[in-house]
Amino acid sequence: MNPVFCAIDTDVLYEAKELVDALNGEVGGFKIGLELFTAHGAAGYRTVAACGAPIFLDVKLHDIPNTVAGAITSLLPLQPAYITIHASGGAAMMRTAAEAAAAAGEGRPKLLAVTVLTSLDSDDLVSVGQDADVGEQVVRLAQLARDSGLDGCICSPEEILPLRAALGNDFVLMVPGIRPSWAPSNDQKRTLTPRQAYDAGATHLVIGRPITKAQNPVEAARRIAEELA
Protein backbone atom coordinates (compact mmCIF):
# COMPACT_ATOMS: atom_id res chain seq x y z
CA MET A 1 0.00 0.00 0.00
CA ASN A 2 1.29 3.47 -0.92
CA PRO A 3 1.63 5.39 2.40
CA VAL A 4 1.60 8.85 0.78
CA PHE A 5 -1.35 11.19 1.38
CA CYS A 6 -0.99 14.12 -1.00
CA ALA A 7 -2.00 17.42 0.66
CA ILE A 8 -4.47 19.29 -1.55
CA ASP A 9 -3.85 22.76 -0.11
CA THR A 10 -6.04 25.03 -2.23
CA ASP A 11 -9.46 26.61 -1.85
CA VAL A 12 -9.97 26.54 -5.63
CA LEU A 13 -12.17 23.52 -6.21
CA TYR A 14 -11.39 22.93 -9.89
CA GLU A 15 -7.66 22.98 -9.12
CA ALA A 16 -8.18 20.42 -6.37
CA LYS A 17 -10.25 18.25 -8.69
CA GLU A 18 -7.65 18.46 -11.50
CA LEU A 19 -4.83 17.48 -9.13
CA VAL A 20 -6.75 14.58 -7.65
CA ASP A 21 -7.80 13.25 -11.04
CA ALA A 22 -4.19 13.43 -12.29
CA LEU A 23 -2.71 11.82 -9.17
CA ASN A 24 -5.34 9.20 -8.44
CA GLY A 25 -3.63 5.81 -8.32
CA GLU A 26 -0.18 7.45 -8.00
CA VAL A 27 -0.51 8.17 -4.24
CA GLY A 28 -2.25 6.32 -1.40
CA GLY A 29 -4.82 9.02 -0.75
CA PHE A 30 -5.45 12.75 -0.39
CA LYS A 31 -5.52 15.17 2.51
CA ILE A 32 -8.33 17.72 2.49
CA GLY A 33 -7.72 20.50 5.00
CA LEU A 34 -9.58 23.43 6.48
CA GLU A 35 -8.84 25.66 3.48
CA LEU A 36 -10.85 23.55 1.05
CA PHE A 37 -13.41 22.27 3.55
CA THR A 38 -14.38 25.68 4.94
CA ALA A 39 -14.65 27.09 1.42
CA HIS A 40 -16.65 24.28 -0.18
CA GLY A 41 -18.00 22.09 2.64
CA ALA A 42 -19.43 18.65 2.12
CA ALA A 43 -20.17 19.28 -1.57
CA GLY A 44 -16.54 20.22 -2.23
CA TYR A 45 -15.40 17.19 -0.26
CA ARG A 46 -17.57 14.93 -2.41
CA THR A 47 -16.20 16.47 -5.60
CA VAL A 48 -12.66 15.56 -4.54
CA ALA A 49 -13.55 12.22 -2.93
CA ALA A 50 -15.37 11.07 -6.07
CA CYS A 51 -11.99 9.73 -7.22
CA GLY A 52 -12.54 6.86 -4.77
CA ALA A 53 -9.15 7.20 -3.02
CA PRO A 54 -8.95 7.27 0.81
CA ILE A 55 -9.39 10.79 2.18
CA PHE A 56 -7.69 12.22 5.25
CA LEU A 57 -9.99 15.02 6.46
CA ASP A 58 -7.76 17.32 8.50
CA VAL A 59 -10.31 19.47 10.33
CA LYS A 60 -8.64 19.46 13.79
CA LEU A 61 -11.84 19.36 15.86
CA HIS A 62 -11.72 20.82 19.37
CA ASP A 63 -14.85 21.58 21.45
CA ILE A 64 -16.89 20.09 24.29
CA PRO A 65 -17.36 16.30 23.96
CA ASN A 66 -21.00 16.45 22.86
CA THR A 67 -20.25 18.94 20.07
CA VAL A 68 -17.20 17.08 18.77
CA ALA A 69 -19.14 13.79 18.79
CA GLY A 70 -21.92 15.54 16.85
CA ALA A 71 -19.42 16.84 14.32
CA ILE A 72 -17.97 13.35 13.86
CA THR A 73 -21.49 11.96 13.36
CA SER A 74 -22.15 14.68 10.76
CA LEU A 75 -18.95 13.70 8.92
CA LEU A 76 -19.70 9.96 8.81
CA PRO A 77 -21.75 10.08 5.57
CA LEU A 78 -18.65 11.46 3.82
CA GLN A 79 -16.76 8.28 4.78
CA PRO A 80 -13.33 9.82 5.32
CA ALA A 81 -10.56 7.35 6.13
CA TYR A 82 -9.05 9.67 8.77
CA ILE A 83 -10.25 12.69 10.79
CA THR A 84 -8.09 14.81 13.11
CA ILE A 85 -9.05 16.08 16.57
CA HIS A 86 -7.00 18.03 19.14
CA ALA A 87 -5.77 15.80 21.99
CA SER A 88 -5.67 18.89 24.23
CA GLY A 89 -9.50 18.76 24.15
CA GLY A 90 -9.09 16.06 26.79
CA ALA A 91 -9.84 12.39 27.40
CA ALA A 92 -13.64 12.70 27.58
CA MET A 93 -13.76 14.58 24.27
CA MET A 94 -11.62 11.97 22.55
CA ARG A 95 -13.53 9.00 24.06
CA THR A 96 -16.88 10.45 23.00
CA ALA A 97 -15.51 11.15 19.52
CA ALA A 98 -14.23 7.55 19.23
CA GLU A 99 -17.67 6.24 20.25
CA ALA A 100 -19.31 8.42 17.60
CA ALA A 101 -16.91 7.13 14.93
CA ALA A 102 -17.48 3.52 16.02
CA ALA A 103 -21.15 3.87 15.04
CA ALA A 104 -20.04 3.60 11.39
CA GLY A 105 -18.88 0.03 12.04
CA GLU A 106 -16.17 -1.73 10.06
CA GLY A 107 -15.44 1.12 7.61
CA ARG A 108 -15.43 3.80 10.34
CA PRO A 109 -13.03 6.74 10.03
CA LYS A 110 -9.88 6.41 12.09
CA LEU A 111 -9.36 9.28 14.49
CA LEU A 112 -5.94 10.91 14.69
CA ALA A 113 -4.80 13.22 17.47
CA VAL A 114 -3.13 16.55 16.94
CA THR A 115 -0.71 16.87 19.88
CA VAL A 116 1.36 20.08 19.95
CA LEU A 117 1.20 22.15 16.76
CA THR A 118 4.68 22.43 15.25
CA SER A 119 4.19 26.20 15.08
CA LEU A 120 4.42 26.31 18.91
CA ASP A 121 7.67 26.35 20.89
CA SER A 122 8.27 25.97 24.63
CA ASP A 123 7.64 29.69 25.30
CA ASP A 124 4.23 29.36 23.63
CA LEU A 125 3.42 26.31 25.77
CA VAL A 126 4.35 28.14 28.96
CA SER A 127 2.21 31.11 27.92
CA VAL A 128 -0.86 28.83 27.79
CA GLY A 129 0.03 27.13 31.07
CA GLN A 130 1.42 23.88 29.66
CA ASP A 131 4.61 21.94 30.30
CA ALA A 132 7.54 23.73 28.65
CA ASP A 133 9.07 20.56 27.21
CA VAL A 134 7.47 20.19 23.79
CA GLY A 135 8.75 16.62 23.33
CA GLU A 136 7.31 15.45 26.66
CA GLN A 137 4.00 17.17 25.98
CA VAL A 138 3.75 15.48 22.57
CA VAL A 139 4.29 12.02 24.09
CA ARG A 140 1.91 12.72 26.98
CA LEU A 141 -0.90 13.83 24.64
CA ALA A 142 -0.30 10.92 22.24
CA GLN A 143 -0.53 8.44 25.15
CA LEU A 144 -3.73 10.12 26.34
CA ALA A 145 -5.12 9.87 22.81
CA ARG A 146 -4.34 6.15 22.59
CA ASP A 147 -5.79 5.51 26.06
CA SER A 148 -8.94 7.39 24.99
CA GLY A 149 -9.48 5.13 21.98
CA LEU A 150 -7.90 7.13 19.16
CA ASP A 151 -6.11 5.29 16.36
CA GLY A 152 -3.00 7.40 15.98
CA CYS A 153 -1.63 10.90 15.78
CA ILE A 154 -0.09 13.45 13.47
CA CYS A 155 3.55 14.01 14.27
CA SER A 156 6.60 15.82 12.97
CA PRO A 157 9.54 13.81 11.57
CA GLU A 158 11.57 14.30 14.74
CA GLU A 159 8.74 12.94 16.90
CA ILE A 160 8.53 9.56 15.10
CA LEU A 161 11.20 7.75 17.14
CA PRO A 162 10.10 8.88 20.63
CA LEU A 163 6.44 8.18 19.81
CA ARG A 164 7.20 4.70 18.48
CA ALA A 165 9.26 4.00 21.59
CA ALA A 166 6.47 5.21 23.91
CA LEU A 167 3.46 3.79 22.07
CA GLY A 168 4.60 0.59 20.38
CA ASN A 169 3.80 -0.40 16.82
CA ASP A 170 0.00 -0.50 16.82
CA PHE A 171 -0.56 3.24 16.41
CA VAL A 172 -0.91 5.26 13.21
CA LEU A 173 1.78 7.94 12.80
CA MET A 174 0.78 10.32 10.01
CA VAL A 175 3.81 12.51 9.28
CA PRO A 176 4.00 15.83 7.38
CA GLY A 177 7.24 17.79 6.96
CA ILE A 178 8.53 15.30 4.39
CA ARG A 179 10.93 16.37 1.65
CA PRO A 180 12.52 14.15 -1.00
CA SER A 181 16.23 14.98 -1.43
CA TRP A 182 15.44 16.50 -4.85
CA ALA A 183 12.62 18.86 -3.68
CA PRO A 184 12.94 22.37 -2.19
CA SER A 185 12.20 22.55 1.55
CA ASN A 186 9.86 25.61 1.20
CA ASP A 187 8.87 26.72 4.72
CA GLN A 188 9.46 23.27 6.27
CA LYS A 189 12.32 22.95 8.77
CA ARG A 190 13.84 19.72 10.14
CA THR A 191 12.44 17.53 7.39
CA LEU A 192 13.07 13.85 6.63
CA THR A 193 12.99 12.20 3.23
CA PRO A 194 10.09 9.80 2.58
CA ARG A 195 12.41 6.78 2.99
CA GLN A 196 13.93 8.10 6.24
CA ALA A 197 10.51 8.81 7.77
CA TYR A 198 9.15 5.42 6.74
CA ASP A 199 12.21 3.61 8.10
CA ALA A 200 11.90 5.54 11.39
CA GLY A 201 8.38 4.19 11.90
CA ALA A 202 5.92 6.49 10.12
CA THR A 203 2.89 4.62 8.82
CA HIS A 204 1.70 7.44 6.52
CA LEU A 205 3.41 10.44 4.94
CA VAL A 206 1.70 13.75 4.16
CA ILE A 207 3.38 15.31 1.15
CA GLY A 208 2.08 18.44 -0.56
CA ARG A 209 4.23 20.82 -2.59
CA PRO A 210 6.98 18.37 -3.60
CA ILE A 211 4.21 16.71 -5.62
CA THR A 212 1.61 19.41 -6.29
CA LYS A 213 4.09 22.15 -7.26
CA ALA A 214 6.41 19.85 -9.21
CA GLN A 215 6.70 20.52 -12.93
CA ASN A 216 5.20 17.07 -13.44
CA PRO A 217 3.19 16.02 -10.34
CA VAL A 218 2.61 12.46 -11.59
CA GLU A 219 6.34 11.92 -12.15
CA ALA A 220 7.12 13.34 -8.70
CA ALA A 221 4.58 11.01 -7.06
CA ARG A 222 6.04 8.03 -8.95
CA ARG A 223 9.57 8.95 -7.96
CA ILE A 224 8.53 9.07 -4.29
CA ALA A 225 6.73 5.71 -4.59
CA GLU A 226 9.87 4.18 -6.14
CA GLU A 227 12.03 5.51 -3.31
CA LEU A 228 9.65 3.89 -0.82
CA ALA A 229 9.35 0.56 -2.62
Which residues contact ligand C5P by CB under 6 A? 7, 9, 33, 118, 154, 156, 176-177, 186, 188, 206-210
Residue in 10, 55, 59 with CA at minimum distance from that of residue 36: 10
Angle, helix 34-49 to helix 13-23, in steps of 10 degrees: 50
Instruction: Count CB neighbours of 160 within 10 A.
Output: 21
Report the residue number, 71 or 120, with the smaller CB distance to ligand C5P.
Answer: 120
Who's near 52: CB < 8 A, 6+ residues apart?
Answer: 24
Spatial CB neighbours of 77, under 8 Å, sequence gap ≥ 6: 42
What is the distance between the alpha carbons of residues 150 and 147, in angstroms, rounded to a whole number?
Answer: 7
Q: How far is the CB of 105 from ligand C5P (least distance, A)?
A: 29
Residues 6, 23: Cα–Cα separation, whole Å: 9
CB closer to ligand C5P out of 3 and 176: 176
Residue 7 or 81: the one with the smaller Cβ distance to ligand C5P is: 7
Q: At closest approach, how far in Å is the CB of 62 from ligand C5P? A: 15
Indicate which residue of 60, 110, 189, 213 is catalytic.
60
Q: Among 217, 224, 197, which residue's Cα sits nearest to residue 24?
A: 217
In the complex, minimum distance from the CB of residue 9 to ligand C5P, in angstroms, rounded to a whole number: 5
Q: Name residue 40's amino acid.
A: H
| Three-state DSSP string of 116-148 | CCCCCCHHHHHHCCCCCCHHHHHHHHHHHHHHC
Give 209 or 223: the residue with its C-beta nearer to ligand C5P. 209
Q: How far is the CB of 99 from ligand C5P (least distance, A)?
A: 26
Pick between residue 89 and residue 208 the one whose CB is nearest to ligand C5P.
208
Decide if 110 is catalytic. Answer: no
The residue sitting closest to ligand C5P, measured at its beta carbon, is: 208
The minimum distance between CB 135 and ligand C5P, in angstroms, equals 14
Q: Which residues are catalytic?
A: 60
